[in-house]
């Protein structure tokens, strides 16, 4: 009984420390990941190792795509990125494949670009693209989880840490991953093409809505342009599908929204 009480107290103290870390702007996600790792609770560690293994196998075969379950295809380079861990600071040279070591770390480049824009009175909004495998991990080979069920927690701790570093430098970041995870099973279809590395039309509309809400105040009082949009079914030759050897599966069909400006007069 005494041992159980001690374990419970330790977990409560750890949880309280994490809450304090979350309150520290900019350092929150990085410090959270460090603390979780020290406590043996690094989120997504098995997922990261799995991505790294799949990427290594694909590279050994000179394959652009990794074939998963239920027709899902994943970009090998994206899986390598997810499997590399931290890719900035002291870890940049190890994780990057930049031809010049001085270009390996993305953080100084983004910060410098932000500072240049700020000097000119321009506001920078960074909107990272959520990795396909983070939103639909169950489609990976030997992936876990039911197709309709969201992952049990986020699998991109390193990316969250990087976004925290950007925010610490005063850079505005819109992280779409939470809303993508929430809407991953929308009736309108998946948020990613199964046979392509890019978003589906459904995700494009969702991302546009989120970005619009983020920037709404910025455009308050300025002239506005009305738009209309219609959904239509199209057949695509996805970049990952194209990279497959013959015989390939049937091409994917998905919904796209055609947007047009409304002109008066």
Question: Does residue 157 belong to any structural domain of this protein?
Answer: yes
Contact 66, 141 (CB under 8 A): yes
Predicted local confidence at residue 226, as pLDDT: 87
Predicted local confidence at residue 145, as pLDDT: 54
Angle ∠(148,149,154) on CA atoms, nearest 5: 135
Question: Does residue 119 belong to any structural domain of this protein?
Answer: yes
Q: For the chain, what is the domain count?
A: 1
Count the alpha carbons within 13 Å of 234 in the hemisphere toward its beta carbon.
14
Question: Does residue 22 belong to any structural domain of this protein?
Answer: no
Question: Does residue 67 belong to any structural domain of this protein?
Answer: yes
Question: Does residue 8 belong to any structural domain of this protein?
Answer: no
What are 56's two structure tokens? Answer: 């290594």
Residue 247 phi, psi (nearest 5): -80, 135
Domain that holds residue 53: 43-261
Predicted local confidence at residue 246, as pLDDT: 93
Predicted local confidence at residue 101, as pLDDT: 86
Torsion 225-230-231-233 (CA) sign: negative
Q: Kindly state the helix (H) or strand (E) to which residue 66 belongs, with its residue range.
A: strand 65-67
Contact 10, 38 (CB under 8 A): no
What are 99's two structure tokens? Answer: 């031809």
**DSSP secondary structure string, 209-249?**
HHHHHHTGGGGTTS----EEEEEEEEEE--HHHHTSPSSPP
Question: Does residue 16 belong to any structural domain of this protein?
Answer: no
Residue 218 to residue 115: CA distance in whole angstroms: 19
Residue 70 to residue 191: CA distance in whole angstroms: 15
| pLDDT tens readout for residues 144-164 | 654 555 677 789 999 999 999
Question: Does residue 29 belong to any structural domain of this protein?
Answer: no
Q: Kindly state the helix (H) or strand (E) to which residue 73 belongs, with its residue range.
A: strand 73-75
Bridge partners, 75 (sequence order): 65
Query: With a cut of 70, which residues of the chain have pLDDT below it?
Result: 1-43, 143-150, 264-265
Residue 107 to residue 92: CA distance in whole angstroms: 9
Question: Does residue 52 belong to any structural domain of this protein?
Answer: yes
Residue 16 to residue 123: CA distance in whole angstroms: 35
């Amino acid at each position: 009984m005494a041992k159980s009480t001690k374990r419970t107290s330790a977990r409560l103290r750890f949880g309280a420390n994490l809450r304090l870390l979350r309150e520290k702007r900019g350092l929150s996600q990085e410090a959270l990941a460090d603390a979780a790792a020290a406590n043996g609770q690094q989120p997504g560690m098995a997922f990261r190792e799995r991505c790294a293994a799949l990427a290594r196998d694909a590279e050994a075969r000179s394959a652009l795509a990794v074939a998963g379950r239920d027709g899902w295809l994943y970009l090998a380079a994206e899986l390598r990125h997810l499997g590399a861990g931290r890719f900035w600071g002291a870890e940049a040279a190890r994780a990057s494949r930049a031809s010049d070591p001085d270009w390996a770390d993305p953080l100084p480049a983004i910060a410098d670009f932000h500072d240049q824009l700020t000097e000119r009175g321009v506001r920078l909004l960074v909107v990272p693209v959520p990795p396909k495998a983070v939103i639909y991990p169950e489609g990976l080979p030997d992936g876990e989880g039911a197709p309709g069920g969201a992952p049990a927690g986020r699998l991109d701790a390193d990316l969250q840490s990087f976004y925290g570093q950007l925010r610490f430098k005063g850079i505005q970041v819109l992280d779409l991953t939470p809303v993508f995870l929430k809407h991953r099973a929308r009736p309108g279809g998946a948020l990613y093409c199964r046979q392509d590395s890019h978003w589906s039309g459904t995700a494009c509309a969702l991302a546009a809505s989120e970005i619009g809400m983020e920037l709404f105040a910025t455009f308050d009082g300025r002239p506005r342009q009305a738009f209309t949009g219609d959904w239509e079914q199209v057949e695509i030759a996805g970049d990952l599908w194209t990279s497959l050897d013959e015989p390939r599966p049937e091409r994917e069909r998905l919904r796209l929204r055609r947007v047009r400006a409304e002109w008066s007069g």
